[in-house]
A and B are shown apart, each in its own frame.
Chain A
């Protein structure tokens, strides 16, 4: 409750007409940023614990990258060879949306929770965004894939190793690359 109360309090402050319309002084705007960031980070602890219970990723970090809107997420850019993206759908109905994940310029393979390969594109972050001074040495590319989520679903992003293949379930060309562990996961996921 302490974690959530911090966010409740911050949202209470944000009901002020200056916060809503942006007519606050600059130093007040910066203070609002500080309050909100601290409150979101606090509430994130609860989200992490809840997701650890709801998914099979019992020790998952469940990091929220608060700068995804400027294509920045150090966790995915510098993270492990395999990253799990857990998606929570806040709509009251299932939804298909494209997900963009900031990454390095390397080859990746995306699979869903059944091990099925999901088609993905790797596109450059616009040079104007990369040139922003506070963004230097951040992700140069974004990995884009389509996700269908009823309420909660995980997708796996793994760097590719050298082996030619075509996904025999979906027929998706893997651009001449496939990972051995992914093949194994796929085999397990096949219906008996």
Chain B
């Protein structure tokens, strides 16, 4: 019944999320800002070659080298909404190997995306590298920011380097940077930041867009030393990865970076949980 509606709204006292008829998130409202934010999953096919020459290099453990442009995962998303008193969840299924839970907690000024990717299929003999991308209307003019190992934010400019003019032979990976805590874009009024729970690669390949690499499964060695393809398995199948990305949207004039930093610390240093049975407790 819920899927026949044109638009689904999930909200609490601080955050309002709007999903379109296809089940994709397409608008976020928080901190007095409303922004059309569409979230999707894509994958890049990994380049495969014999590594004999530069142009024949394969994507592997050391290098990310996509072969062609990204491929969208899931035009239509099946989903269910669960509304508790304190937490509201949207469980989305993009295909057989990509799903996600989007969560908002009462009193918490961020949106949580808990992704589940894998096992990445390789029966077509092509390695794949899965990303999530958030598109918005923010006019970022090619500029984005990534953290420096959880410390200060560094300014990155698409297709540029700080001290030299690069020969950009790799349009995608040439613009990827390490993201260990945070990646952000902004214009004169609005700012979007993504906070992650682990070191990932990330970029802003178009104005208003942010993407993070979530999981990879590749079938060729890249000849940089490891001597085997990045094709991890567990229990006889490709690895399944689960993790979280958090989105914070705010007004630039409110200096949201300060708030993001506090959130980032909580994400990286959550409570340690210890369990005991009460019958043994005094």
Binding site for B on A (CB under 8 A): 18, 21-26, 29, 47-48, 51, 56-65, 68-70, 73, 75-76, 79-91, 95-99, 101, 119-124, 126-129, 132-134, 144-147, 149, 156, 158
Contact = CB atoms under 8 A, between A and B. Distances in A.
A150 to B, nearest CB: 11
A23 B271 contact: no
15 contacts: A21-B61, A22-B230, A59-B280, A75-B275, A76-B275, A80-B277, A80-B278, A80-B279, A86-B275, A90-B272, A97-B266, A98-B86, A126-B99, A126-B101, A158-B278
A150 B277 CA distance: 23
A169 B266 CA distance: 30
B276 A63 contact: yes
Contact of A83 (B105, B232, B277): B277
Given A128-B93, A128-B116, A65 B277 contact: no
Interface residues of chain A: helix, strand, loop or mixed (majority): mixed
Contact of B277 (A48, A61, A70, A89): A61
Contacts of A68: 273
Contacts of A134: 234-235
A101 B61 CA distance: 35
Interface string B150-180: 0000000000000000000000000000000
Interface of B: 61-62, 82, 84-87, 89, 91, 93, 99, 101, 105-108, 116, 224-228, 230, 232-235, 237, 240, 242, 265-266, 269-282
A174 to B, nearest CB: 12
A148 to B, nearest CB: 10
Contacts of B280: 57, 59-61
Given A59-B281, A95-B266, A86 B228 contact: no
A111 to B, nearest CB: 11
Contacts of B279: 80-82
Contacts of A63: 274-276
Contacts of A80: 277-279
Nearest to A120: B86
Contacts of A88: 271-272, 274
A177 B129 CA distance: 49
B274 A51 contact: yes
Contacts of A87: 271-274
The 7 lowest CB-CB distance pairs between A and B, nearest first, are A121-B84, A60-B276, A82-B278, A80-B277, A62-B274, A128-B99, A57-B281
Nearest to B94: A128
B266 A56 contact: no
Nearest to B276: A60
Contacts of B101: 126
A77 B105 CA distance: 23
Nearest to A80: B277
A124 B86 contact: no
A128 B118 CA distance: 10
B276 A84 contact: yes
Contacts of A29: 232
Contacts of A57: 276, 280-282
Given A29-B232, A97-B266, A132-B240, A62 B89 contact: no
Given A29-B232, A57-B280, A60-B276, 19 more contacts: A23-B62, A23-B224, A23-B225, A75-B277, A80-B278, A80-B279, A82-B277, A83-B275, A84-B275, A86-B273, A86-B274, A97-B266, A99-B271, A101-B273, A121-B84, A121-B86, A127-B91, A128-B93, A144-B87
A80 B277 CA distance: 6
